[in-house]
Amino acid sequence: MSDTVYLGIDLGTSRTSITTSTGVRETVWSYVGYPKDHVAKKKFGGRDIVYGKEALEGRLALDLYRPMAGSSVKHKGAQDDGKRKKAIKDLLEYVVGMAKIPKGATVYGMIGAPAEASVEGKATILEAAKDCIDSVIICSEPYAVAYGLDHIDNTLVIDIGAGTTDLCRLHGTMPKPEDQRTHEIAGDAIDQELARLVKEKYPEAQFSINMIRSFKEKYSSVSTNMDRAVVEMPVAGKPQKFDVTELIYKACYTLVPPTVAALQDLISTYDPEFQAQMRNNILLGGGGCVIKGLGVAIEKALEEYGGGHVTTVEEPQYAGSNGALKFALDMPAEFWKEFKSGRQEAKA
């Protein structure tokens, strides 16, 4: 077995995925929980930290964090306090732990970040990784998706996460800042809009944001022929059924206008000789790409600009981590030596 293990990590607001050179592929919901007291700790078998879906489901007994949501990694201008930084560090260390890396191996990690991630956000990732990865390189999430699928020339990538929608144009070289765009109408914003619409139409209904998220994940669509969405919510403690079909469509469609605007901006500022080729080679990835009819809706909205063609990636959950791993494996050895972490320096 090689003395070096390479990791590709998609550190997401909703879910975090890892793909390794040793064949490991794992995903965990991006939640971290800390037991509130000794009774809660006993409930969780004496553990000090609980992760993923288990943390979400046991949240009433935990101080629960969804650490990437609202972090400086995902949002420009955000400030990370000590508790959030600790939660991000704990989440990343847990994900790396899932890789089952042999003792003594050198660990090189490529971690995806939003297309226009701030300096502060990248610093937060590096700080979180310093004790579990020997050398860390941060790459653009949409670029990682495209790289993994060998779409690195005259391609526009849309990566829809929970916190941000990231876009990147590729032209056979590493993307520059002017090749990338980010906006914050993504999964979480859709959840908030759907919650607002439900409250407005059905003020008597009781719901949580987690319930709203589950409705969206089950029925999300921007198709004019979408399936009827009927959900159950309590009213004064009594379960009742509500038709939220139109509300889900409206909430999901809020993603389309800003995404098309960003696409058109990237296209119109590109070499005019290659604009048509790029417009007809759009790659749609990220968790949000599973919204039914989204590719068609984007194509329709692009008609006034000359049309376009959108392809949805297969396996969106792992497209980012797979691409990050491929990028890591192709990275020249000298690059890794330039990005030593605290862990590698301690070993030296």
Q: Which domains does the chain have, with CATH numbers?
A: 149-185+255-316 (3.30.420.40), 187-253 (3.30.420.40)
Question: In which order are the strands placed within the sheet that holds 180-183?
Answer: 180-183, 165-171, 153-160, 282-285, 310-312
Gap between the Cα atoms of 6 and 13, Å rounded: 22
Q: Which secondary-structure segment (H or E) carries 241?
A: strand 238-243
Helix axes 209-219, 187-201, angle to 10 degrees: 110
Confidence at 335, pLDDT banded by 50, 70, 90 = confident
Gap between the Cα atoms of 247 and 197, Å rounded: 6
Gap between the Cα atoms of 265 and 195, Å rounded: 30
Gap between the Cα atoms of 335 and 348, Å rounded: 17
Select the more confidently predicted residue: 209 or 341: 209
Confidence at 345, pLDDT banded by 50, 70, 90 = low
If phi over 0 gives left and psi between -120 and 50 gives alpha, with beta otherwise, what is residue 83? alpha
Gap between the Cα atoms of 260 and 310, Å rounded: 12
Gap between the Cα atoms of 115 and 135, Å rounded: 21
Confidence at 1, pLDDT banded by 50, 70, 90 = very low
- Residue type at 187 in one-letter notation: G
Lowest mean pLDDT among 35-39, 208-212, 237-241, 331-335: 331-335
Give the per-residue pLDDT at 159. 93
Helix axes 245-253, 187-201, angle to 10 degrees: 140
Per-residue pLDDT for 39 more than 90?
yes
Please, which residues bridge with residue 50 across strands? Answer: 33
pTM of the model: 0.86
Q: Shortest CA distance to 1 belongs to which of 16, 21, 19?
A: 21
Gap between the Cα atoms of 48 and 328, Å rounded: 33
Confidence at 99, pLDDT banded by 50, 70, 90 = very high
Give the per-residue pLDDT at 202. 98
Gap between the Cα atoms of 32 and 66, Å rounded: 6
Select the more confidently predicted residue: 34 or 3: 34
- Residue type at 228 in one-letter notation: R
pLDDT digits (tens, 9 = 90+) for 107-164: 999 999 887 777 888 899 999 999 999 999 999 888 999 999 988 889 999 999 998 8
Q: Which is it for the CA torsion 180, 326, 76, 208, positive or negative?
A: positive
Enumerate helices (H) and strands (E) in the chain, giving the number of each: 14, 15
Task: Show Cβ contacts of residue 138 under 8 Å, excluding neighbours closer than 6 positions.
Answer: 110, 111, 112, 113, 117, 122, 125, 126
- Residue type at 201 in one-letter notation: K
Helix axes 209-219, 245-253, angle to 10 degrees: 90
Percent of the chain with pLDDT over 70: 97
Confidence at 286, pLDDT banded by 50, 70, 90 = very high
Alpha-carbon distance values, 233 to 44, 190, 220, 240, 244 (Å): 29, 19, 18, 6, 11
Region 282-298: mean pLDDT is 95
Q: Which secondary-structure segment (H or E) carries 153?
A: strand 153-160
Q: Which is it for the CA torsion 71, 76, 79, 82, positive or negative?
A: positive
Lowest mean pLDDT among 20-29, 136-145, 338-347: 338-347
Percent of the chain with pLDDT over 90: 78
